[in-house]
Amino acid sequence: MSTDDRTSAISGTTEEFVAFVHATAPQLHRSALLLTGDHHLAEDLTQATYARVFASWRRVQRAGNPVAYTRTILTNTFLSQKRLRRSGETTGRIADIGETLTERAAGPGTGAHDDPSVRMTLFDALAQLSPTDRAVLVARYWEDRSTEQTARDLGITETAVRTRAKRALERLRPLVSDLEGIV
Amino acid sequence: MNDQTQLQELMRRSVGDAGPDLDRLVGGALRDGTRIRRRRRMAGAGAGLAVAAVTAVAVGVLGSGSGPRAVDPASETASDAASTSPTPQRQGYYEGRTYDFGGGITGTVVRCGEGPIDPDLGRPTCALPSEYAIQQRNTLEGSGEGWAVVLTGPADAINDFWGAGFDDPRLQRGGLTIAIRADSPLIAPVNQGQRVSIDVPGWTLSPEIVDDKQELSGPDGAVADIVWRRASDYAGWTAGDDKADGAFVSDVHDGVFVTIQGGQGTTQADLDALGASLRWE
């Protein structure tokens, strides 16, 4: 292969990657937003994910399902960052979120769909869960991944996925109920 | 409407049409991805055939369509050939066995002690001496039970390897625990004892730093965060794009800087006042 051919091939590969990012980034960013609960962190996570995908782009393309691969990288990157930072299982701030939400539901502004302060409340509720439980909920109910796929991505058993999803939903139930009345 | 449907609907409403700045995202991903490639090439240049064997195995795993995580291999074959141990013909995990994962990363096998019973699995967890920090445990049953692989090497390389889900069959065996050294800079918190204070009437700063964040509480339930960041990230926050929009960014101080980011009930004026009052102690 000549230098020109090689340059052309590299350029073509980069163009394919850019097209892939444009096609998939909005949805991936929303997953990142649900995982992190923070727009800045979601952008960082999304960028770190695509950087890793680009670093192995040819291999990823050969794997045949770059979207699934990228989602998995996103989840792994999120969990590794949480572990690397020695994060606690909860943020601690929102222990009284149920009470806060109930008060807000009863107060003025109920139903203010576009109020950013209200939109933050689901993120706060999700932040009460462990990172792994959050990843399970996002994979199962936002990305519609199967129990089997979720278990494989997270390195846990299918039983553990079901148990974690059930337990996380139970923890969220009072919050979800209140949120439903607000959002 | 059941919990799952409610949650799905709430997720949909909460994220709305949020989306990233695609041009900035692409630019950043290409830049960082190229850096990762370059690092791999440099690290791989001296690694020889062992790395080639690892790569071949990794490609095989990806090519099978199973994604970056593989299931527990039924047998140990080609993947074990990349061991750097003096007795490569010996199969399976054993105390002191080492693996070369490329990128300067070495894994050393250690035997687990018996930890508390995992309530979900009904099996003992892996207990390791305090010099090791457990970072991941595979909860499938398999040949990795009772064993841990401790990773050492360049922090960035381990971080990348981690983000890719430890994409290597030798780390995907059921029951295997993966750890790093407890003194690794990877798990050191950003804050190394630095302290800041704020002085805005009605606002208080929590003394605890959790997950590199300190909570700010203001009037009428307003909340914000002080986020501790490494000086190496400073350029990205002051590059002039919109990354820092709405956030206060401090100067670098003793290898770190902080951003102040608003939460519910916080206005831009609040952030400006908090930033203006910030003092390093």
pLDDT per residue as tens digits for the range B195-209: 999 999 999 998 887
Cα A140 from Cα A133, distance rounded (Å): 11
Low pLDDT (below 70) residues in chain B = 1-3, 39-91, 119-121, 163-165, 211, 240-245
Tens digit of each residue's pLDDT (9 = 90 or more) over B244-277: 667 899 999 988 999 998 877 888 899 999 999 9
Please report the pLDDT score of residue B117 as a whole number. 77
**Regarding predicted confidence, which is higher, A88 or A8?**
A8
pLDDT at A11 > cutoff 70: no
| Amino acid in position B216 | L
Tens digit of each residue's pLDDT (9 = 90 or more) over A71-108: 988 988 888 766 554 433 333 333 333 444 444 444 44
Give the length of chain A. Answer: 183
HSE at residue A161, side-chain half, CA atoms within 13 A, is: 22
Residues of B whose CB is below 8 A from A82 = 211
Give the length of chain B. Answer: 281
Label residue A153 by pLDDT band (50, 70, 90).
Answer: confident
Cα B236 from Cα B233, distance rounded (Å): 6
Residue identified by tokens 């909340």 is B223
Whole-model pTM: value is 0.52
DSSP A140-178: IIIS---HHHHHHHHTS-HHHHHHHHHHHHHHHHHHHHH
DSSP A32-70: HHHHHS-HHHHHHHHHHHHHHHHHTHHHHHHHS-HHHHH
Cα B172 from Cα B68, distance rounded (Å): 10
Please report the pLDDT score of residue A109 as a whole number. 41
Q: Which of A14-23, A113-122, B153-162 has the lowest mean pLDDT?
A: A113-122
In the numeric block, which tokens belong to residue B198?
């704020």
Measured over the CA atoms of residue B6, residue A23, residue B27 and residue A14, the dihedral's sign is positive
Q: Which of A16-30, A135-149, B241-255 has the lowest mean pLDDT?
A: B241-255
Mean pLDDT value across residues A107-118:
43
Instruction: Return the ∠ at Cα B43 (arms to A6 and B31), rounded to 5°.
Output: 55
Q: Any bridge partners for residue B113, and if so which?
A: B127
> Could you tell me which chain B residue has the CA closest to the CA of A74?
B163
Of B10, B15, B59, the CB nearest to A179: B10
**Regarding predicted confidence, which is higher, A141 or B61?**
A141
B72 close to B171: Cβ distance less than 8 angstroms: no
Helix ranges (DSSP H) in B45-152: 49-63
Mean pLDDT value across residues A47-69:
85
pLDDT at A40 > cutoff 80: yes
pLDDT at A26 > cutoff 90: yes
Of A47, A56, A88, the CB nearest to B28: A47
A51 close to B28: Cβ distance less than 8 angstroms: yes
A147 close to A162: Cβ distance less than 8 angstroms: yes
Please report the pLDDT score of residue B80 as a whole number. 46
* ipTM score: 0.76
Instruction: Tell me the average pLDDT of chain A.
Output: 73
Interface of B with A in 80-109 (CB under 8 A): none
Please report the pLDDT score of residue B53 as a whole number. 32
Mean pLDDT value across residues A2-20:
66
A88 to chain B nearest CA, in Å?
7
Q: Which of A141, A173, A183 to mutate to test the interface with B (most CBs of B within 10 A)?
A: A141
Residue B253 is classified by DSSP as B
Please report the pLDDT score of residue B61 as a whole number. 32
Interface of B with A in 162-221 (CB under 8 A): 162-165, 172, 186-187, 189-190, 208, 210-213, 215, 221
Calculate helix-pair angle for B22-44, A39-55, nearest 10 degrees: 50
For B103-255, list the strands marked E by DSSP.
105-111, 113-118, 123-127, 132-137, 147-152, 177-181, 196-197, 204-205, 213-217, 223-230, 248-249
